[in-house]
Structure 1
Amino acid sequence: MPRVLAIDYGQKRTGLAVTDEMQIIASGLTTIPSATAIAFLKDYFFKEKVEVVLIGEPKQMNGQPSESASMIKGFVTHFSNHFPDMKVIRVDERFTSKMAVQSMLDSRLKKKQRQNKALIDEISATIMLQDYLNRKMF
């Protein structure tokens, strides 16, 4: 069974998470510089079969698009131009960064590790992906 990949795209960094082949568990894949995202994904899709890509959709508390929404929309267009056959699902990413930090606190990571923004981005992508899997199962 192909995997599902989640992308938490940001101006500087992009967090990536992926499912296992049974699409049951989400795991952090890596965090990459955003400028290298398309090249990284080309290589990854060559090596791994992926059927769906989730891309975070940043929203404000009132449901309106956030400031970074237009930047991410540009990435989605760029992504779709490079991977026209890949199914893309936009998912609400509100609170994922806060949840990632809380997860790091709950895991008792040291302060230095909790300040690692790349790790926060990767965990945020994992939270988005696991939430999608949980909703898909029910």
Structure 2
Amino acid sequence: AKEAPVTVGIRAKLESLGKLVGMANNTQRIIVIEKRLGELDGIEFKVKDFTSARDGFDIAGLQQKIEALERDVEYMLNRINNLEQKGGSPSPSGPSLGDECVENLETSVNNLQGMIIDMVENCQEAIGALRHEIKEINPKLILTIRAVGS
């Protein structure tokens, strides 16, 4: 599987931290490690941003809108049927204009629902990948700091 750009960047930073262990000057090691740690600090904020974006994503509200659209479709179908009954039967040459509008609306509702589901899944995948990377980084970072300290 192809690694996410975040994963590749983190892996490169960890490899450069590992190379520090071979440096002769402890002061130089500490300066470089502090610089690298500052770069890694941003990852936690990225995870929090993704989490807040996911938490702020109003799935229930969107589901209510979809349900309201479905009720509107049902109402429109009933109105169309009533109008067709009052005005006579629809032309046999093709579907009535009302049927076409209802089909378009139903298609739009289904597309919207699919897009919402895809967005939620994408956010959850990104958050999961970032959490996984942080779990992998923490032990390596601790080992690197211990190696420099001794």
Shorter chain as denominator, the TM-score bin is under 0.3
Q: If the length of structure 1 is used for normalisation, what is the TM-score?
A: 0.24
Q: If the length of structure 2 is used for normalisation, what is the TM-score?
A: 0.23
The answer to which structure, 1 or 2, has the higher relative contact order (CA under 8 A, 6+ apart) is 2
Quick check: which has more Rg, 1 or 2? 2
